[in-house]
Structure 1
Amino acid sequence: MTDVLIAGAGPTGLTLACDLARRGIAVRVVEQRSAPHRESRAKGLRPGSLEVFEEFGVAEAVAARGSARVVLRKYFDGRHINDTVTDGGVLVGQWQIEEVLRDRLAEYGVRVEYGSAIAGITQDAAGVRVELEGGAVVAAGYLAGCDGGRSTTRRLLGIPFEGTGEEEPAMVLGDVKAPGLSREFWHQWFSSEGTGILLCPMPGTDTFQLQAAPETDERGALLPPSLESFQRLFERHARMPEIRLADPTWLSSWRVNVRMATRIREGRAFLAGDAAHVHPIAGGLGMNTGIQDAAALGRSLAAALTDPAGEEALDAYQAERLAVATELLADTALRYERVLAAVREPGRGTEAGLD
């Protein structure tokens, strides 16, 4: 029988899988996606996450794919104002982090099982039985739901996800090419209206991650993300008609959601990462908090599996990480407000969320 079944192969699930596998714990990872993605998504690793990665020997490989020093070039109403520098972490795309973690996991003899969505959960004092779509059943000692903000694990366990959320997107995002635009800078164009567009060069690629306030039509309705909309937003804010955006490989929208699970343990099943909490993106704390969740859950599960008195460690995981999540939601909400205020000041930008 598998010791731990992990649902979700993002940074949280893969970190947990690597941590458990290095301890000799039998682990399986199922992922409802049919294959790995190559979307930039989350892109900033903090020192604490690198310390976790150091424990199973991937910190250097992750850092090598990213950039430790990022220059933010600030524009206001189309005019270059100043440049600021951020360091202390690593700028690297989420898909690249996941690739490094999958490679390390494969060295432990574990491979992600793609196209495996969970459909049912039952458990008793002896273990958990997870039914997959298609009818297969996996028996495990414990289940870890690391399957994101729309977590199927959380829904099947009947755990409420309380908080607030906006109906309308606050931001559109995408991965695009911008031939002719310098890749030496994370370009941040803002305006006196409080709107703007950001293009961040993703290390190891020829793409930029684009973030912008959504475009509206003549009736004021928000338009969905598209290359054509991105180009109009770019021309409005950057005022560089010679630059033509191209080859979008990811298009998405982001809504403000501040929510957390009322509990992150249900018997032998646990939640971690976005399955347990979602919050504003200011400060780049989402992926990093998920990695820390995974490290804490790995320690707790290892203790429970190797120590007859380890049950206390499982209770400690919930107490510790629920407290962290509560503080995280309040903190990131304040950071987000600071960023919204800062971008109305010439020369200020996303670094306001790092204060």
Structure 2
Amino acid sequence: MHSLPPLEQLDAGRFDTPAILKKLASASRQLAELKGIAAAIPNQDILINTLGLQEAKASSEIENIITTHDELFKDDVLPEAFANPAAKEVLRYRQALRIGFDLVRSSGLITSNQIVEIQSELERNNAGFRKLPGTALKDGAGRTVYTPPQDPAEIVALMRGLERFINEPDLFAVDPLIKMALIHHQFESIHPFYDGNGRTGRIVNVLYLVKEGLLDSPVLYLSSYIMRNKADYYRLLQTVRTENRWEEWVLYLLEAVQQTAAQTIGTINAIKAALADYKQRIRAGYKFYSQDLINNLFMHPYTKIEFIQRDLQLSRLTATKYLDALAEGGFVRKQKVGRSNYYVNLALTAILQGDGA
């Protein structure tokens, strides 16, 4: 079993290498640009809802929970009509991300209890930290490659130590992006839960960026890079444990931040352009135009009459009339399932399906 000393015992100077400092500068620049561009969207819920789903999809895919965008969007709009277990798991991830975001925003902290709450939402159980021995991480051939701490008291103590490391900046004075990489590794190595460790840890990544003020909302979908470079992710997690090779691991996550920040900027700019286009054309052509209507269309890649009724305070008949008119105008496509209809935002779904997440 691998011992897990507190992260603050590391030599902070080992992260001052030319390669890390160079990559840190470019990742920080991209992230700052993303923060500014995201802030320009007046309704942040649009981004949290849509980009949160992109992150949920990619992070779940790392754990071989595979869904298409269409399956996800359908399950989101008509859960009773589409019984897709994988899609429901991904939607729970987005909900766990939202819960975590609300907790961090209200407390300014990331605590062990909050992490338990996030994992509980993901896994739909209240098992909490592991209390029974027997957890081991295996490779594709079934060989044990890593045995995390087994003693329940040690797991609790390690998580308390990680909580201090996350929330006490003076404990280890390095850049927050470097610190995020260290936190993620320590969390995955503690492996505190029976299930959902990887996905919970990846939620903590983006919440830490929010906590540190590097993002205002959890819009960076870091998991898309990890999914594309999955073998390296697991290899580098392991080489830190076996060879104490931190530099490659830190560089990997800095590269992930840089690439996914650039990707997210592109997605947000495309959403912003589509929003402006729909707003201009609907305002010019339809008397029922309202900002609440635009918000609804971009909050839900697939929307339905009930969403419009709720958000615009309309009767069912009026909401149906509005959506059918927008379908005739080519803004949405009407789809029928049984006795229900849903409406596909053509511009938004094209953006979300085409950005590689």
Q: Normalising by structure 2, what TM-score?
A: 0.31
Name whichever structure is richer in helix by fraction.
2
- Normalising to structure 1: TM-score of the pair? 0.31
